[in-house]
Amino acid sequence: MAQSRTEYKSLIRNKRFQYDKRQTDKLNEVRYKNAKMYWNMLKEAHSGKKSTNININDFERYFKAKNDPDSAFYQEDNETTEFIDTYLNGDLEIMFAELNDDFSNEEIKKACSQLNNGRSGGQI
């Protein structure tokens, strides 16, 4: 069940990202070609924003209940639980121990010799 929920949330995020990207591309496309359409699209996007009328106390109660294992609203997040277990077991320290190793002079010389002359970092 939790795996299905995670997959569903991931799918929703990806679809929302794709939709937003398409809308942004359309907006950029008409920005200089059709000013009237550009401003109409901006107004449309702004008018689609929904305001909320939720009470701050209800909001607080909901999220407290969501994180309370005894509440009916509680849903365990497997990714968070796995991360916490990994952290508490010290697995992250083992995983990243090599990042704390010192560089040898030979490694630095080798890396420098592979750099391109006349180029800044990031240029190919």
72 vs 106: CA distance, rounded Å: 60
Token pair, residue 123, equals 């240029």
Contacts of 100 (CB under 8 A, 6+ apart): none
Note the pTM of the prediction, 2 decimals: 0.35
Summarised one tens digit per residue, pLDDT across range 30-82 is 888 888 888 888 888 777 666 667 788 888 888 787 777 787 777 777 887 88
The pLDDT assigned to 1 comes to: 61
The pLDDT assigned to 52 comes to: 66
The pLDDT assigned to 118 comes to: 78
The pLDDT assigned to 10 comes to: 84
Summarised one tens digit per residue, pLDDT across range 69-119 is 787 777 777 887 888 888 888 888 877 777 788 889 999 999 888 888 877
- Which is nearest to 24 in space by CA: 41, 49, 11, 1? 41
Token pair, residue 20, equals 């937003």
The pLDDT assigned to 105 comes to: 93
pLDDT higher than threshold 80 for residue 3: no
The pLDDT assigned to 106 comes to: 94
The pLDDT assigned to 110 comes to: 92
